[in-house]
Structure formats: C-alpha cells, structure tokens
Structure 1
Amino acid sequence: MTIAQRYESAKEIYKSMGVDTDKAVETLKNIHISMHCWQGDDVQGFDHKGPLSGGIQTTGNYPGKAGTPEELMDDIDKALSLIPGKHKLNLHANYAIFEEGQFADRDALEPAHFRKWVEFAKERGMGIDFNPTFFSHEKAETFTLSSPDEEIRQFWIRHGQACIRISQFFAEELGQPCVMNIWIPDGYKDVPADRLAPRARFKDSLDRILSIDYDKSKVYVCLESKVFGIGMESYTVGSSEFCINYAANNGILSLMDNGHYHPTEVVSDKIPAMLLFNEKLALHVTRPVRWDSDHVVLFDDETKEIAKEIVRNDAIDRVFLGLDFFDASINRISAWVVGMRNMQKAFLFALLQPNDKLKELQNNSEFTELMMLQEELKLYPFGDVWNYFCEQCGVPGKEDWFEEVQQYEKEVLSKRA
C-alpha cells in the first residue's frame, strides 16, 4: 500500500472514534516550534573562545561541529530540510556575528551584530526568538544579575536591556513576535547564610531591565526558573517560586523548562494550572535524565503529556514552545531532526485523541472505560498519519531522512577541522 492508501485506512479508523485526521494534519502544519541554534555547536557561540561555564556542559566530541556562522547556518538548513512544517529559530546572544575589528562585549550588543541572522531568517520566512547569555563570560564566574558586586550586576543589567532592543529588532524586521527568555545560573554550591538578599538584587535587576521602553506586543519577555545546577546545588536564586511570582506581578511570561524541576515533578501537570492564571506561557522542552541533562527529546510519555495538555486545553495559540538540548556525542544534525520531529509527533498524537469523549468519561466517573480507551488508542495507526503528514510537507517519512544526514556527514561534516 502507498502512504496515501495507508492514510485513508487510518482516517476511517480514527473517524470511528470521532477524530478528524485531516483537521489534525492541517493544525500540525501551523504549530511552529522554536529550534535552538546551540545544538549545532555545543553552546559555544561566536563571542568567546573559552570553555562553557555557569553550569553549562556538553559531553562528547562527535566530529563535524559547526565552527563558523556559515557552517552553523548550513547545518540549520540541512536539519530544517528534514523537519516537516515551518518553524522559528532560537538564538542566544553569544551567537552575535562581528565583522572584523567590530567586537562588542555583551553589554554593548546592538541589532547590527545580528543582521546576518535576520537576513538568514527572512530568506526562509522564519521568525527569531532570543536569549540573553548570562554564562560563559569572565563576569559570570560567580553571580550575574544577583551579584553583590555592583559593577558586575550593572554590566548584566545593560546586557538584558540590549537584548530587549535586539528582540524588538527581530520582531520588526521579521513581522513575528520575539520571545526573549531570561535565565541566570546564579546560586550557591553549599548552604547559604542569606537567601533573601540575592533574590532582592535579582528582582531589582529585572526591574531595571524591564524599565526600558519596548513594545510588549512585539517582545514577550519570559523568566525561566531552575531547581539546581552544577555549582548551585544548594540554592538557586531564580527558583520556581521567585520566577512565577515575579512574572505574574510584572506582566511578563513564565517559561517552564521540563528539566528544571525535581525529578518527580512534571511540567505537563503544571501547564493547565498555569493556563488558568496566565494568558500565555512559554516552554522549553528537553529530556532530563535524573537531572537537567538536556538530552535529545524523545517520543516519550512526558513529551506526549505536554502536547496533550496544550491541545486538549485549546492552548496551541497561548503557548510559545521551543526545544533545549545539546548532545555532542552523536551527529548534531540528527539530534535536531530527532528532537524536532518527536515534538511534532507528540502534537500529532495529541491531536488524534478523542479528547471530548475522554473528558466525558472522566466527568461521568467511568474510569474503567477511560483507562481502557487511553491504552487502546496507543495502538491506533498513528504512524500512517505521521508519514502522510511528512509527505504533505515534502520531507522524508519514517527513517528515510537519516540517509540524507549520513550523506551530509560524509560530504560536509567529515571535512571540517
């Protein structure tokens, strides 16, 4: 049977459950995921040559890492050619591109330093999201926006302000809102003597960053929490409670990264709670393995549940979604493609659920039938709908895309220093 024939068969099977597969496919085409540039070069960026710091680490040394803006853009292009749909690009500030002799430190970054990225995005009809980079810098060795050293704190405040201006530049040039996410690696390795003062300084720094004039319909500033990290195992300044409260009181968005909580917490459960009190949310989807280890996103239970909560609560237009992982132990382009396609698979799986019927069973306390049906739906011909979706978008289905990655590695990646 052809892909189209298998799809027609699957369509009838889902129809018997009250699910419109054509609608699901069309909806998925319009779900834009923000693909993170930092998978392509292990979070190195272009504004420094030193090692990663601030709790950021990559493991592995798979050959072919992008070393220049041109190489990174080529690799992004290759990945996007194998991912169905139209998406956004997520940049960190350390990916500024400087002309010879025009280096600017992070507190002096300007839109001009990202013009090549705008040209890249324009040619591909993409939007850009953005992140200030509060790590891998000599002034980030201990604290940043919560630093007791006023000179260091002011440096990072200026960086945050510069990034808002750059974010608005992206939004105006590309005609799409820019999601700008703030995360800091500040905290203590051991038990602190004062938990309040660092958070008070962080609050003041955020107030100063947000005090500049910017268009909130074009720039959505987010604040991302974390439970702990390398070198901040005992105390994190930007805790969940701090970030959620600050965002709620200052008209910005909470960003939840599903690697930034205790191992038994799940973001899928947090999404509906947050939606009751927030018009919009932002997510970074990753795969923690025992801690915030940023593994490649799989088509696993929690990824499915995250997508289900967004779909069943009619929140596709209320949630800004980006991915965040970096694996240097495998082909980096393959990592992008696997992660992005798995997030899309999770959304398609959610769109193919008879959500109204399942809710009705729950409301009627028919839990036996609810459990039965949820389990049986796992074996419905989801894969036939996925392959049809890929065909409709002009990208390879099943595992056929991997041959192109292997060929690209042979012809391009293997020749890099």
Structure 2
Amino acid sequence: MSRYEDARAQYADWGVETEAALSALAEIPISLHCWQGDDVVGFETRTGASGGGIQATGNHPGRARNPQELRADLDFAYGQIPGTHRLNLHAFYLDTDAAPDRDAIELTHFQSWIDWAKEKNHGIDFNPTFFAHAKADDNLTLSHPDQGIRDFWIEHGKRAREIAAGIGKALGSASVNNIWVPDGSKDTPVDRMAARQRLEAALDAMMATGFARAQLIDAVESKLFGIGVESMTVGSHEFYLGYAIRREIALCLDMGHFHPTENVADKLSAVWLSVPELLLHVSRPVRWDSDHVILLDDSILQMAQELVFADLLKRTHIGLDFFDATISRTAAWVIGTRNMQKALLRALLLPQTRLKAAEAALDFSARLMITEEAKDLPYGAIWQEFCARQNVPDGLSLISELERYQSKVAMRR
C-alpha cells in the first residue's frame, strides 16, 4: 500500500474523503501579488520607489527591474505551485516605454500582461495605485482638501476600473479591482467627518460608471494605521464596511490591517452576511502591518478553516499581500502561496461533520478531543500526493529548485 493510500484509509475512518479534498483544493485559485517581485517599485519611468505608508526592507539580489523579468519570475513561481492561479497587478506596473501620468493610463498599457495571462491561463486582478506619487506626498488622495488633487485621483480610479473591466472581458474572468488609499493623519485631527465625507464622495464619483459583474468586481480595503497616518486612517474598517454594504460591493480584509490581537478569521462570517463578496489579502503582520511571508501558523489555519466550514469560498477571492526583500523574492511567492494551499487542504481534511455535530450538541469536550486528535492524521502524505498529481516538486526537491532559480537571477542589479 502506498503512503497516500494508507493515509487515505486513516482519513476514511474519520469520515473524511481525501479525493474530495484534493478535487476541491485544485479548484481554488489564489491571486499572487506582483509587488513581491520588485519590492513595490513599479515600472513608471518617472518614479522609482514606494511611499505613502508602504516600505519594503532589504536588498536581496535578484529584484525584477522590468515587466519581462517580473513575468519570468512569476512563470517560475507558478511552476512550483500546484493548481492554476491568478495575478494581482497594480496600476503602476504598466508596460510601456513612456509611462503616462496616472490620470491618463489606458488598457493598451497593460496589453502585454493580458497576452501573457492568456498564454499562461491566468486571471488578472487589478488595483489603482494611490501611493508613490507627488500628489500623494501628504498621505492624502481621495480625501485631500484640494479639489484638484481629488479630481486627479478620481480620474486615476476611473481609468483603473475601466482597465480592470477590459482585462476581465479579454480574459473571460472577472477582475477584482481593489481600492486602497493611504489617506490619514500623523497627529490627532479635529475634523474626521470632513475627510470621510470627501472620501465617500470621491469613491462615488470614481465608481459612477457601472460594469458587468462578469468583467469587474469592485472591492474596498481598510487599514488600522500606517507610516505617517498613525493617529487616524480615513478609510477605516468601519468606514469601508458601511460603504461596501451601502454600495453592495466587495469588502477586502487584509490580515495585516487590524490590531495584532484581532482574529481576522472571526470577521469572515460576520461581514459575509452583509456584503455580496469578500476579498482576502493574506499576510503575516509582526507587531503591525509589516507584511511578512505567511507561515502555516494558527492565524492561517483558522482563516482556512473558517472559509471551508462556513462555506465562504464561493463568494471569497483569496489574494496574497506581503513583500520581503531580505529573502529570495520568488521563494517568498512559492512558500506563501503553498502555505495558503496547505492551510486550505488541512481544513478540507478535518472531520467537519463530527465537529459540527459535537458543537451543536454543546459537547465541547468532544469538539476539543476531535480537534486535537485530528492533528495527528497524516496530512503530509495527502499534500505530497497533491503535488505529485499537479507535477510540482515538494520537500528537498522544491528547496533545490528555489535555490537554483535564485542563483540564476542573483546577478541582476
């Protein structure tokens, strides 16, 4: 009997069908974030650094310097990750010799990304870029008191939505267009209401044009605080939760955008009851929103279990959001994405029926016993089988592949 067949039999004793779990996992796409590959620099010729509360630390060799290098790195990363996945693309990763200002970007500036995605069978999600720009130096964009600056960013947001819809139409897969702005105040403000009213009005103007759901899914993303906005963030969780409910759009929950003691997994079922769709940005905050590569830790396991047990996957879009320039950038993509998949697989392999029955009967002793004993089941054998069926390496073979590719790109400077 093979290792997998032995593990399959053990899970069957608990009423878990491993084949069903493997089939379900293969159908869950994860949106890899392009900005891990170049330290959130982007490809605008007139700029060259992140800003607006965003900072990547480290100078590991091999940063992608142009769209071609970034796509090559992504191709490698996707090749080490089982399944078929998506790309999360920011607006300042346009591919053109002469980048226009952000209020003049067009779909043509992203045609090479569309062509690549068609060839590789990836969907593309999108984001307007409201940072790393002279008109964001005050850490104010859509809520800026200056109407001219607001108009600039409103136009950028309109064009980003048009581009996202065009991408979704071209690829036959709806593009999730996620809106995050760095707006806030370093010191204590005296008129929060005015700033939030300006943000709401700007968002309404930006999203006035409707697009087919099959092409575009709008999402809004909150944050607790950031660099330069320590005292007040205009787009707080409460602001965007209310806005998403009123406007019937998706709500983005970024795991690094809450207080370190908050359990983001606990929020999923609560907000799912009131918003049409959810977007997750999966990251690992250390003390605050430091966006570390995700581990297979309790926070990720709880997130995955909530998604599976509450049947949220059908209306939830899973994306990653971390950027670590102290380690191999391609390895970071691969490790983080595979850890999200491992967490989902472990959730799919839990004896859900037994656990829910125990809880419904208020038998919390049984719930605890089942939870702890299930940890000893041979999950690793099921993961190895998944990798083998998807023709990707695991274990020592994976480590060798990651090291080989890093040595190939280390000469980039």
- Distance in 1, Cα, partners of 2:401 & 2:16: 34
Provide the residue aligned with 2:60 in structure 1.
62
Provide the residue aligned with 1:116 in structure 2.
112
Amino acid at match of 2:58: G
Provide the residue aligned with 1:385 in structure 2.
382
SS at match of 2:393: coil
SS at match of 2:251: strand
Query: What is the CA distance between 1:90 and its match in structure 2?
Result: 0.5
- Distance in 1, Cα, partners of 2:152 & 2:272: 35
SS at match of 2:401: helix
Q: Which runs of 5+ in 1 are unaligned?
A: none
Amino acid at match of 1:60: G
Provide the residue aligned with 1:16 in structure 2.
13
Amino acid at match of 1:285: V
Show structure 1 runs of 4+ deviating over 3 A: none
Amino acid at match of 1:72: L
Q: Which runs of 5+ in 2 are unaligned?
A: none
Q: CA RMSD in A?
A: 1.0
SS at match of 1:294: strand
Q: Deviations over 1:148-203 (max 9, x none)?
A: 01111100000000001000111111000100000000000111011100100000
Query: What is the CA distance between 1:219 and its match in structure 2?
Result: 0.6
Query: What is the CA distance between 1:50 and its match in structure 2?
Result: 3.4
- Distance in 1, Cα, partners of 2:360 & 2:223: 35
- Distance in 2, Cα, partners of 1:31 & 1:399: 25
Out of 195, 200, 211, the position equivalent to 2:197 is 200
Provide the residue aligned with 2:134 in structure 1.
138
- Distance in 2, Cα, partners of 1:407 & 1:7: 29
Query: What is the CA distance between 1:224 and its match in structure 2?
Result: 0.3
Out of 343, 346, 350, the position equivalent to 1:349 is 346
- Distance in 1, Cα, partners of 2:275 & 2:150: 30
Q: Map of 1:388-403 to 2, 5 A cutoff?
A: 388-403=385-400
Provide the residue aligned with 2:47 in structure 1.
49
Query: What is the CA distance between 1:401 and its match in structure 2?
Result: 1.0
Query: What is the CA distance between 1:214 and its match in structure 2?
Result: 2.0
TM-score, normalisation: structure 1: 0.97
Q: Map of 1:18-417 to 2, 5 A cutoff?
A: 18-47=15-44, 48-99=46-97, 102-142=98-138, 143-410=140-407, 412-417=408-413
Give the percent of matched residue pairs that are identical in Structure 1 and Structure 2: 48
Q: Deviations over 1:101-148 (max 9, x none)?
A: x42111111000000000110001111000000000011111100000
Amino acid at match of 2:93: Y
Amino acid at match of 1:82: Q
Number of aligned positions between the proteins: 411
Amino acid at match of 2:401: E
Amino acid at match of 2:87: L
Q: Deviations over 1:258-279 (max 9, x none)?
A: 1111111111000011222233
- Distance in 1, Cα, partners of 2:382 & 2:38: 33
Amino acid at match of 1:31: I
- Distance in 2, Cα, partners of 1:59 & 1:171: 33
TM-score, normalisation: structure 2: 0.98
Amino acid at match of 2:246: N
